[in-house]
């Protein structure tokens, strides 16, 4: 049975209608809409509309200068059976997970070293942040020179100075080293972000916890496992998730170092998207490449987040 508002002690203004809105949002609530409208329009026009339009375009045959022709899921079906695309998918996962894995380990090591009582700690913190601060394009171009087979610094050191190798290696051109080299640059570029984030987390762990653990007879490793790791787990979740997204979308390092070559050995999804858009100039298919792994990536991130949260509850 419906109960009148008055009987339950509610003011009529709180039950809805213009008077209710005024009470909840204040006398200027209409003006509020006016102020919210620009940002709402901005989000709709700059995020929602382009995203929906991209989904539409991915289902078209769109060539430069010509109107799009709707082809349904044809682009996605074609990509599914395309060997070059399949290799790019595998490469993307190899590139992303190997990079993030190494960055995680190196980041923890960096944070542990910087929390230890070492001399000139601030100086070393600054030095270790350089790869993160330097523009990616500049770093990648430097590595292009470092890895150069005939003029590169790395081969010069290994062959001429250290005499470790009889002859230089084509770091970016051989099956065993091309992907490893681009991964190495990504790790070099990204691990300071992990390290500095973990460092902030570690400094927030109360010293009493370590003292109590030490009193209980916990070894250094046990203190790391049972005090430090749980203390930075939340930060770890965020940093790993962010880095996974950034690494998966990393374009500059791979494009500058190898352009996805040789023979597609280092072709990853962002570079393939770019090549399909500007090389092949098939815009519909390029967007399909970009969107193809969006659901899979979202699921991966959700699973990863859930797994790490589960660990925290334990």
Residue 180: exposure state from Cβ atoms within 10 A (0-12, 13-18, ≥19) = middle
Among 280, 294, 296, 299, interactor with other proteins by CB under 8 A = 280
- Per CB under 8 A, 39 contacts other proteins: no
Per-residue binder mask for other proteins (CB under 8 A), 14-33, x = binder? --------------x--x--
Angle (nearest 5°) at CA 223 between 219 and 224: 120
Q: 8 vs 161, which CB is nearer to other proteins?
A: 161
CB closer to other proteins, 92 vs 228: 92
Residues in the chain: 314
Using CB under 8 A, which residues numbered 45 to 84 contact other proteins? 61, 63-66, 78, 82-84
Q: Which region holds residue 120: left if phi is over 0, alpha if psi is between -120 and 50, else beta?
A: left
Q: Distance of alpha carbon 295 from its chain centroid, rounded?
A: 15
Q: Is 290 in the site for other proteins (CB under 8 A)?
A: no
Question: Is position 258 an interface residue for other proteins (rule: CB under 8 A)?
Answer: yes
Min dist CB 155 to other proteins, Å, is 7
| Structure tokens belonging to residue 140 | 């990648």
210: CB partners within 8 A, 6+ apart: 223, 227
Residue 75's CB: how many other CB atoms inside 10 A? 25
Supply the minimum distance, in Å, between the C-beta of residue 65 and other proteins. 4
Q: Prior bond to 262 cis, omega within 30?
A: yes
Nearest partner of 257 among 154, 160, 107, judged by Cα: 154
**Site residue total, other proteins (CB under 8 A):** 45
Among 124, 125, 131, 148, binds other proteins (CB under 8 A): 148
Q: How far is 268 from 179, CA to CA, in rounded Å?
A: 10
Residue number, 31 or 118, with CB nearest to other proteins: 31
Determine, following the binding rule CB under 8 A, whether residue 225 of this chain makes contact with other proteins. Answer: no
Nearer to other proteins, 230 or 264 (CB): 264
In the bound state with other proteins, the residue whose beta carbon lies nearer, of 171 and 248, is: 171
DSSP assigned state of 60:
E
For other proteins, the closer of residues 197 and 265 by Cβ is 265
Contact (Cβ atoms closer than 8 angstroms) between residue 270 and residue 251: yes
- In this chain, which of 25, 70, 73, 278 binds other proteins, going by CB under 8 A? 278
The verdict on 178 binding other proteins (CB under 8 A) reads yes
Closer residue to other proteins (CB): 233 or 282: 282
Question: Could you give the CA distance from residue 99 to residue 181 in angstroms, rounded to a whole number?
Answer: 11
Based on CB atoms, which residue is closest to other proteins, 182 or 297?
182
Which window, 14-22, 104-112, 276-284, 294-302, contacts other proteins (CB under 8 A)?
Answer: 276-284
Instruction: Please count the other Cβ atoms lying within 10 Å of the Cβ belonging to residue 145.
Output: 11
| Chain contacts with other proteins (rule: CB under 8 A) | 28, 31, 61, 63-66, 78, 82-84, 147-152, 155, 167-175, 178, 257-265, 275, 277-283
């Amino acid at each position: 049975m419906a109960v009148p508002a008055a009987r339950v002690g509610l003011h009529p203004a709180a039950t809805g209608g213009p008077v209710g809105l005024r009470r909840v949002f204040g006398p200027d609530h209409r003006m509020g809409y006016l102020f919210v409208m620009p940002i709402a329009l901005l989000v709709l026009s700059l995020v929602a509309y382009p995203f929906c339009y991209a989904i539409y375009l991915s289902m078209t045959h769109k060539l430069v200068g010509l109107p799009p022709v709707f082809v349904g899921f044809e682009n996605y079906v074609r990509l599914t059976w395309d060997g070059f695309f399949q290799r790019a998918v595998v490469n993307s996962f190899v590139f992303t997970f190997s990079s993030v894995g190494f960055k995680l380990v190196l980041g923890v090591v960096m944070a542990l070293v910087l929390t230890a009582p070492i001399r000139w700690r601030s100086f070393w913190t600054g030095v270790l942040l350089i790869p993160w601060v330097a523009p990616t394009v500049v770093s990648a171009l430097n590595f292009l020179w470092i890895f150069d087979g005939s003029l590169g610094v790395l081969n010069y050191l290994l062959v001429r100075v250290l005499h470790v190798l009889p002859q230089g290696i084509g770091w970016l051109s051989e099956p065993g080293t091309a992907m490893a080299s681009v991964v190495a640059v990504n790790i070099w570029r990204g691990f300071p972000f992990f390290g500095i984030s973990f460092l902030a987390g570690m400094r927030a762990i109360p010293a009493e916890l370590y003292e109590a653990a030490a009193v209980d007879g916990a070894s250094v490793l046990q203190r790391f496992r049972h005090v430090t790791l749980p203390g930075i787990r939340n930060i770890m979740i965020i940093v790993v998730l962010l880095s996974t997204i950034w690494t998966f979308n990393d374009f500059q390092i791979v494009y500058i170092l190898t352009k996805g070559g040789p023979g597609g050995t280092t072709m990853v999804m962002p570079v393939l998207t770019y090549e399909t858009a500007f090389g092949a100039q098939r815009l519909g298919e390029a967007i399909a490449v970009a969107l193809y792994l969006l659901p899979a990536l979202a699921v991966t991130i959700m699973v990863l987040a859930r797994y790490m949260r589960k660990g925290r509850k334990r």
